[in-house]
Chain A
Amino acid sequence: MSHPVKGCGIGLRFQHIDTIVDSNQPIPWLEILTDNYLLPGSVQQDYLFEIAEHYPLTFHGVGMSLGSTDPLDTEYVSRVKALVERVNPAWVSDHLCWTSAHGVVTHDLIPLPYTEETIRHVSQRISQVQDSLERRLVIENVSSYLQYQQSAMSEWDFLCAVVEAADCDILLDVNNIYVSACNHDFDPLAYLNAIPVQRVREIHLAGYEDRGTHLLDTHGYPVSDAVWALYAQAIQRFGAVPTLIEWDNNVPELPVLLAEAAKAAEVQARVLA
């Protein structure tokens, strides 16, 4: 039986594992980067099993390559499934993008063209993964720095069509919406307002870097004021959705991360009061 995921948690990073294991910090929940724990019988899995005894967990992956036109990597899915069965996370998420093609893997999140062909392809792949895992998948919107010539709809229309066709849930990354809105000059509120409330299972917050010509989603900074404001709007629309602070570069000390999570909880409390 997995622990229920509520409130505002943080992404588990290697730098903090010993501190978390040793001090039993009061953290509402933790999200693991699934890909870091897929070596069967490894010391990483050892740590994970120990942490799973004390904290509610969710799994967040980058390797499913849901939008790729290569065959689904069944070894990857099998390893995720084995770990899911062992740890029983509250849910499993990955990204609405592609990470590999023609046998080459980028380990990065590349956006998809927003077309009917892509909707059919990705929703079939998501269904295939859901059937394999015997669970609903939660799909995250990615930051993007380009738009394809052949895209025929907005990102939010594309996301809504995919989750409807695949009958999966949404991990709404509010920072990614803001970054893409700035990079592609759309209204982030239009995006938020198009998302079906009942499908939003989780919200992500992170910090971006302003490169002058574009915003880059580096996960290396505190959440920006603009994203906090958008998050308040999201909570207004979606309610008390479990929210996670992601920080992957220049990872700060644990108290800094926990303070960001506490700030998210304050926003929720203020908006929903």
Chain B
Amino acid sequence: MSLPELQHHFITAIFNRDQRDAAALLVKSHGKLDAAQRVGIYRNSVHGILWQYLESLYPVCQQLLGAEFFEAASDCYVDQQPPTRPFLAEYGAGFADFLAAHPALQQMLWIADVARLEWARHQAWNAVNQAAADFSQLANVDAAQQARLVLVLPASAQLLTSAYAIHQVWLAHQPEDSPEKVALEQLELHQTQRVLVWRAGRRLHQVLLDEATWAFLTAIQQANRLPDLAERFQAQLPALLMTAVQRGWILSFTVL
């Protein structure tokens, strides 16, 4: 058997339990383990590595689902959507959709939204470092340029909206000594929440936004020009803009 064929049989067995016996034909049985058990060690090892990784990405989901359910879900997800790139940090984007489609979670769809929040945190952490612009230069932008001015969010900015209190759920599952810890019994699950996650230097931030701020930052993310923002947000614009710049939610500006 050629090396490509051998690797094909083996990798198929790693991500499909039912294919183990075909791969076992390639392996010697000896000592205390037969060939199928030896192939099984590798299947377990790969699934263990990816389960641990997913657990590190989705620690709140792991608490919500329980360790046993999470491990079984991870096992199934890994078989259905195995990694296809050598960059592990890219893996796991589809886990929220996987949970949303999971038959056992149809009455708990909010857990999938918590997974989206945890993935957003992962994305924000892994985003590129960027230096903030000198906003004093905005004063030098003339009227013609203002018509073409676009504000830019940090690459790490992740805007999420959910019909559930995902921010509070996330806070409720932080360590006891966490300053913003929320008590579970105070939590009203069914409320729309808009969340911004972003990274400033070596710190990850996560805040709840009101409707206007969320709409404002979303419009910026969609590259709306300044005149469009002014028309849409009218008298609110100066305050929205000032808060966003002060909090580091707007990184820079550019004239198209």
Q: Contacts A42-B126, A105-B84, A147-B28; is A113 near B202 (CB within 8 Å)?
A: no
Question: Considering residues B1, B3, B88, B199, which has the most beta carbons from chain A within 10 angstroms of its beta carbon?
Answer: B3
- Cβ-defined contact, B129 with A63, below 8 A: no
Q: A85-129: contact bitstring with B at CB < 8 Å (1 yes, 0 no)?
A: 000000000000011111111111010110101100100000000
Is A69's CB within 8 Å of the partner chain B? yes
Is A149's CB within 8 Å of the partner chain B? yes
- Cβ-defined contact, B86 with A104, below 8 A: no
Q: Contacts A39-B89, A39-B126, A106-B14; is A147 near B84 (CB within 8 Å)?
A: no
Is B85's CB within 8 Å of the partner chain A? yes
Q: CA–CA, A115 to B1, complex, Å? A: 11
Name B89's closest neighbour in chain A (CB-CB): A39
Is B31's CB within 8 Å of the partner chain A? yes
Is B137's CB within 8 Å of the partner chain A? no
- Cβ-defined contact, B3 with A113, below 8 A: yes
Q: Please tell me which one of the listed residues B28, B33, B83, B88 contacts residue A148 in the complex, with CB atoms under 8 A apart.
A: B28
- Cβ-defined contact, B128 with A42, below 8 A: yes
- Cβ-defined contact, B33 with A213, below 8 A: yes
- Cβ-defined contact, A76 with B84, below 8 A: no
Within 8 A of A (CB), among B25-48: 25-28, 30-33, 35, 37-39, 41-42, 45-46
A67 to chain B, nearest CB (A): 8
- Cβ-defined contact, B6 with A106, below 8 A: no
- Cβ-defined contact, B28 with A43, below 8 A: no
Name A39's closest neighbour in chain B (CB-CB): B126
- Cβ-defined contact, A148 with B6, below 8 A: yes
Name B130's closest neighbour in chain A (CB-CB): A41
Q: Contacts A41-B129, A107-B46; is A101 near B11 (CB within 8 Å)?
A: yes
- Cβ-defined contact, A110 with B42, below 8 A: yes
Interface residues on A, range: 35 or more
- Cβ-defined contact, A147 with B27, below 8 A: yes
Q: Contacts A76-B87, A105-B84, A106-B14; is A43 near B199 (CB within 8 Å)?
A: yes
Q: CA–CA, A69 to B9, complex, Å? A: 13
Question: Considering residues A115, A121, A145, which has the most beta carbons from chain B within 10 angstroms of its beta carbon?
Answer: A145
Cβ–Cβ < 8 Å partners of A100 in chain B: 11, 86
- Cβ-defined contact, A68 with B7, below 8 A: yes
Q: Contacts A101-B10, A113-B6; is A108 near B86 (CB within 8 Å)?
A: no
Q: Please tell me which one of the listed residues B32, B35, B89, B125 contacts residue A146 in the complex, with CB atoms under 8 A apart.
A: B35
- Cβ-defined contact, A104 with B83, below 8 A: yes
- Cβ-defined contact, B11 with A46, below 8 A: no
Q: Please tell me which one of the listed residues A104, A115, A121, A149 contacts residue B84 in the complex, with CB atoms under 8 A apart.
A: A104
Name A46's closest neighbour in chain B (CB-CB): B129
Is A141's CB within 8 Å of the partner chain B? no
Name B5's closest neighbour in chain A (CB-CB): A69
Within 8 A of A (CB), among B15-67: 15, 25-28, 30-33, 35, 37-39, 41-42, 45-46, 49-50, 53
Is A23's CB within 8 Å of the partner chain B? no
Question: Considering residues A73, A115, A147, which has the most beta carbons from chain B within 10 angstroms of its beta carbon?
Answer: A147
Q: Please tell me which one of the listed residues A40, A76, A146 contacts residue B39 in the complex, with CB atoms under 8 A apart.
A: A146
Is A185's CB within 8 Å of the partner chain B? yes
Q: CA–CA, A43 to B14, complex, Å? A: 33
Q: Contacts A42-B126, A42-B129, A113-B3; is A214 near B32 (CB within 8 Å)?
A: yes
- Cβ-defined contact, B87 with A108, below 8 A: no
Q: Please tell me which one of the listed residues B31, B86, B130, B201 contacts residue A35 in the complex, with CB atoms under 8 A apart.
A: B86
Sample (27) of A-B pairs whose CB atoms are under 8 Å apart:
A35-B87, A38-B87, A41-B130, A42-B127, A46-B202, A47-B202, A69-B3, A69-B7, A76-B86, A101-B4, A101-B10, A102-B8, A104-B83, A105-B84, A106-B14, A107-B83, A108-B42, A108-B49, A113-B6, A145-B33, A146-B39, A148-B26, A149-B28, A185-B30, A213-B31, A213-B32, A213-B37
User: Could you list which residues of chain B lie within 8 angstroms of chain A, going by C-beta atoms?
Assistant: 1-4, 6-8, 10-11, 14-15, 25-28, 30-33, 35, 37-39, 41-42, 45-46, 49-50, 53, 82-89, 125-130, 199, 201-202
Q: Can you add 6 more A-B contacts, CB < 8 Å, to A44-B126, A105-B86, A106-B49?
A: A41-B128, A47-B202, A105-B82, A108-B45, A145-B41, A147-B30
